[in-house]
Structure 1
Amino acid sequence: MARSALSRDEVLDTAAALVREHGPAALTMRRLAAELGTAVTSIYWHVGNRESLLDALVSRTVTDLGTIRPRGTTPTERIVSVARSLRRALRERPHLVAMVHERGLTERMFLPAQRALAHEAHAAGLRGAHAARAVRALQFQVVGYVLVERNRERAPAQSPAEEELWREEAAGSDAELARALAAPIDTEALFVDSVRALVDGLLAGASGDTGDGAVGRGPYSL
């Protein structure tokens, strides 16, 4: 029996969950209706056709990434917190982020995070092109890191694996290095280390060179 009450938000929540787990191709109106225990006509009433539903999911994804807020007491802590939040948001929504990119809204999606980073760059004493380079460098660091993570996760099993290769080097001149590289990767800790190192380098020139204004272009689809 079809359910009697349904909200637009519930439809979008369920649709987003389907896309996150199975990709956009799995999102059909019939499957969505089955997940919600309602009639297909009810889905159309709340969100329109499938293209309208996809547009609504894209709009919601853009809005969600606008909720990132810095945390911490120093510019470095706050910048790292933005980077961590952005990485987590991208990791949780790969298919949705790809849909945003396909609709030409990537720059709009990243704008709130850029604004937050720019604010913290100003708080740290960076201005003009130097601040712009810092924002772009951090943005590329986050997106590039997520791309590498996803590629590693989707890669076929390697034989021998990295751990096995470095285990063979454990008797060399730097056994501690070999053991560390043979150990599983703590991707969160590695990410924080890399962002902190980048931030330290960027903020070290806060009162110095303002650069030539050369900045990169935005990131691409995950």
Structure 2
Amino acid sequence: MARSTLTRDEVLDAAASLVKQHGPAALTMRKLAAELGTAVTSIYWHVGNRESLLDALVRRTVEEMGAIRPEGRTPADRILSVARTLRHELRERPHLIAMVHERGLTERMFLPAQQALVHEVHAAGLRGARAADAVRAIQFQIVGFLLVERNRERAPAQSPAESELRDPGAAPHDPALARALARPADPERLFLVSVRALVRALLAPPAR
């Protein structure tokens, strides 16, 4: 029995859930109607055709990504908080982010994070081209790290495993290094280490 009442937000929530679980290709009006227990005509009435539905999902994703509020006592701490938030938001919405990119709204999606970074590099004393380079380097680091992280997660199981390929003799004078390389990488920790080091270098006074 079809539902007698349905809201636009409920349609978008269900559509976002389908995309998150199965990817954009799995989003059809029939599947969405079945998920909501309603008629296909009801879906069309609320959101229009599939293209209009995808555009509505993209707009909502961009709006959700807009709320990035830096935290911390120093510009470096606040930049790191922006990086962590952006990575988290992108990891939470991989398929929706792909839709945003396909519809040419990637730059708009990143604008709030970019504005937050501009504010913080200014607070750190950077101006002009040096400030622009800092903002872009941080953005590239975040997105690049995330792409590598996602590719590693999607890769098939390796045989032999990465740890089995480690040569204990590769670091004969540093057994601690050899042991550490044999352990699986901690992406969260590695992300913080890399962004913190990059930010420290970018905000440092220029060498005379």
TM over 0.5: yes
Equivalent residues in 2 for 1:196-211, closer than 5 Å? 196-205=196-205, 208=206
Give CA-to-partner distance per residue, 1:101-151, whole Å, 9 cap, x none: 111111111111100000011111111111111110000000000100011
Instruction: Give the C-alpha shift of residue 167 in structure 1.
Output: 6.3
Q: In the aligned structure 1, how far is the partner of 2:106 from the partner of 2:193?
A: 26
Q: In the aligned structure 2, how far is the partner of 1:17 from the partner of 1:175?
A: 47
Which residue is 1:95 aligned to?
95
Segment drifting more, 135-144 vs 32-41: 32-41
Which residue is 2:151 aligned to?
151
Q: In the aligned structure 1, how far is the partner of 2:152 from the partner of 2:7?
A: 39
Which residue is 1:43 aligned to?
43
Amino acid at match of 1:60: R
Q: In the aligned structure 1, how far is the partner of 2:92 from the partner of 2:15?
A: 15
Q: In the aligned structure 2, how far is the partner of 1:38 from the partner of 1:120?
A: 48
Which residue is 1:192 aligned to?
192
Q: Is the CA contact (8 Å cut-off) linking 1:170 and 1:176 kept in structure 2? A: no
Q: Is the CA contact (8 Å cut-off) linking 2:171 and 2:177 kept in structure 1? A: no
Residue 139 of structure 1 pairs with residue 139 of structure 2: yes
Q: In the aligned structure 2, how far is the partner of 1:36 from the partner of 1:174?
A: 59
TM-score of the aligned structures, taking structure 1 as reference length: 0.89
Instruction: Give the C-alpha shift of residue 173 in structure 1.
Output: 2.5
Q: In the aligned structure 2, how far is the partner of 1:125 from the partner of 1:111?
A: 21
Identity of aligned residues (%): 76
Which residue is 2:83 aligned to?
83
The CA RMSD over aligned residues, in Å, is 1.5
Give CA-to-partner distance per residue, 1:74-107, whole Å, 9 cap, x none: 1111100100111111111111111111111111
Which residue is 1:118 aligned to?
118
Mark the runs of 5 or more structure 1 residues left unpaired by the alignment: 210-222
Name the count of aligned residue pairs: 207
Q: In the aligned structure 1, how far is the partner of 2:109 from the partner of 2:169?
A: 45
Mark the runs of 5 or more structure 2 residues left unpaired by the alignment: none
Which residue is 1:55 aligned to?
55
TM-score of the aligned structures, taking structure 2 as reference length: 0.94
Which residue is 2:104 aligned to?
104
Q: Is the CA contact (8 Å cut-off) linking 2:33 and 2:40 kept in structure 1? A: yes
Higher RCO (Cα < 8 Å, 6 or more apart): 1
